[in-house]
Structure 1
């Protein structure tokens, strides 16, 4: 499929995922604990997708093999990823966090090679090296981090794309054949909401609506709706256009993450940010366009 025909969907998906870190920072600044914010986002989007499945008469399988997949994908791709993100975001710029996200497909390729799922070639290896070089440059003085003392938090934030890559590998290895994508997404989000509730209660970050400032409360349904729409668009792209074109949303995620960070928080990146982003984009292109 021509990428121009899918451009609107790619822009919607990338804009939502690029905006999410900034909304999380806003909500946390308004008194919503990070894990509580993630719980309501997961639960609200899970209910939205479940209702769509019901309307379309798409069953959500509950056999053991499906439950194992929901749990593994929900834990790695949502609960642990958001635990890392919401712990790191109060300390680092949202724009820098966005620069980390293209590492996910690169790490997925490396993991798939290590697991024997596919062969690692020079193009993929070179793309991954460029991506890591770009992130390293983004951490340098005069780039995306305003203070060198934040490198520890930046390295911790890099665990987020590691979690996403683990979720991708789990999807390739454990996803039951024949499961409708929307049903898989709904089941995964239900599992993610359960994990977020447990983590929130255990770490004292569960949120009861009404306890935060009005802005924080207003962002809860906004993020839930955005997450649900993003999953709808994502799986629609996978079905219509395939994984290669869908992966191009990574460019939009990074660009919009930087833009939203500048618009909402007044973040200003240093002169080295542009070459850092260029290296990341070059690496992403090499990894996701391997034909």
Structure 2
């Protein structure tokens, strides 16, 4: 059952990237797409939190946590992702996104003097070798102009990694996962609402309506399933989500967008996957991020 939940989470995230690609191709801007995505997530997660008796608390430390964790772990990464999806394949976005566990581990090592054993250290090296395999070879990317956009896409997992460390270090006393999720999503919805109202047109393009609503539903169910996964398993197990996302994103890109990843991209994805696996299963400090 736990493996199925892990696969479901990876597939839902990959679907979000694919649907985001369709929406941006239909002319939906990142802020608009993110607002409707988070609206759907709130409509699914907030009632679930109420049903479980875990409504968000409005204490100062909780509100600060919701806001900062949401900016680093949701709003920032998704805005970057939806921006770069205009310029690079969705499968490649998914591969880059899978770097989050490796970057989390690297931050812990640098800032908090974590200790790396041989396996986790090698995993970190392999992960970044995978990125170089995608970025550096001349024929790796479909177009040389994509280099800068792939590099920019790396800012998304970096923000996620910073958010991972912050969530662990700043988790409010007695905070419950579903409560924190509902508070995080609601805070980001409240922040995005005035921005959306001022900057975006009244209605979505007709051709993108179904796609955007699908993203909202997929995102909401991802949060519910991911918290059940966290409840049933360990951070080590959840950390393996990265290479599920990479593989699912590449396959969805091939099947639905006729994307043709080069051998360098496949090799890079494989190196990243192995790196994530070794770091996630390491017993060193930071290996459970």
TM-score, normalisation: structure 2: 0.92
Task: Select 1:28's aligned residue among 20, 24, 28.
Answer: 24
- Residue 217 in structure 1 maps to residue 209 in structure 2: yes
Classify 1:117/1:233 alpha carbon distance in 2 versus 1 (closer, same or farther; 3 Å). farther
| Pairwise CA distance, 1:201 | 5.9
Q: Which of 242, 250, 258 is the equivalent residue of 1:250?
A: 242
The alignment status of 1:277 with 2:269, answered yes or no, reads: yes
Structure 1: give runs of 5+ residues left out of the alignment: none
Distance 2:170 2:195 in 1: 24
Three-state SS of the structure 1 residue aligned to 2:112 is: coil
User: Is contact 2:105-2:279 (8 Å) kept?
Assistant: yes
1:104 maps to 100
Structure 1 pair 89–107 and aligned structure 2 pair: CA distance change class (3 A) = same
1:62-83 deviation line (CA, Å, top 9, x unaligned) = 1011101100111111111112
1:46 and 1:187 in contact (8 A); partners too: no
Per-residue deviation, 1:190: 1.3
Offset at 1:142? 3.1
Matches for 1:69-80 after TM superposition, within 5 Å: 69-80=65-76
In structure 2, relative to structure 1, the CA distance for the partners of 1:287 and 1:62 (3 Å cut) is same
Encode CA deviations 1:115-140: one digit per residue, 9 max, x unaligned.
32733444333212211110111123
Q: 1:53 & 1:285 partners in 2: Cα distance?
A: 32
Task: State the alpha-carbon separation in 1 of the partners of residues 202 and 279 from structure 2.
Answer: 42
Could you tell me which residue of structure 2 aligns to residue 94 of structure 1?
Answer: 90
Note if contact 2:67-2:187 (Cα within 8 Å) is conserved in structure 1: yes
Q: Within 5 Å, which residues of 2 pair with 1:1-291?
A: 5-116=1-112, 118-139=114-135, 140-143=137-140, 145-197=141-193, 200=196, 204=199, 206=200, 208-209=202-203, 211-214=204-207, 216-291=208-283
The 10-residue stretch of structure 1 (189-198 or 164-173) with the greater mean CA deviation from structure 2: 189-198
1:26-49 deviation digits (Å, cap 9, x = unpaired):
011112212111111112201211
Q: Distance in 2 between matches of 1:54 and 1:246?
A: 25
| Structure 2 SS opposite 1:272 | helix
Which 10-residue stretch deviates more, 240-249 or 187-196?
187-196
| Pairs aligned (count) | 282
Matches of 1:31 and 1:124, distance apart in 2? 42
Per the TM alignment, residue 217 of structure 1 is displaced from its structure 2 partner at its CA by 0.9
Cα–Cα, structure 1 residues 288 and 68, in superposed 2: closer, same or farther, change >3 Å?
A: same
- Aligned partners of 2:10 and 2:201: how far apart in 1? 28
Contact kept in structure 2, 1:32 and 1:217, CA below 8 Å: no
d(CA) in 1 for partners of 2:201 and 2:191? 14
Gaps of 5+ in 2: 284-289
- Aligned partners of 2:11 and 2:245 also within 8 Å: yes
Check conservation: 1:36, 1:197, Cα contact below 8 A.
Answer: no
**Structure 1 residue 58, shift from structure 2 partner:** 1.9
Q: 1:152-180, CA deviations, whole angstroms, 9 ceiling, x for partnerless residues?
A: 11101110000100110110111113211
